[in-house]
Amino acid sequence: MANHKSAKKRIKQTIKRTERNRFYRTRLKNITKAVRQAVEAGDKTAAAEALKRANRQIHHFVSKGFLKKQTASRKVSRLHKLVNSLDAA
């Protein structure tokens, strides 16, 4: 257990940050899952709408510092590619 005041503060900060990151990580999984399910169902309009929400939310995570800019771009790009595959099929 921590003995210094600053060490106790760091423990509290770590717990708080861990909870916040867990929330963002779960939210990110659910967002991408919604897009993938819409694509699997073959519903182009629902997939486009889910993609729009995902794009907005993922870039919001960048502003909060949860994701790096390039990581977010890669994830959004892959989702776009998936949704655009409905047009080709």
Q: pLDDT confidence of 86, banded at 50, 70, 90?
A: confident
Q: What is the pLDDT of residue 3?
A: 86
The domain in which residue 26 lies consists of: 5-88
Question: What is the pLDDT confidence band of residue 88, given thresholds at 50, 70 and 90?
Answer: confident
pLDDT at 6: 94
Please give the tally of structural domains in the chain: 1
CATH number at residue 83: 1.20.58.110
85 three-class SS: helix
Q: Is the pTM of this model over 0.85?
A: no
pLDDT tens digits for range 15-45? 999 999 999 999 999 999 999 999 999 999 9
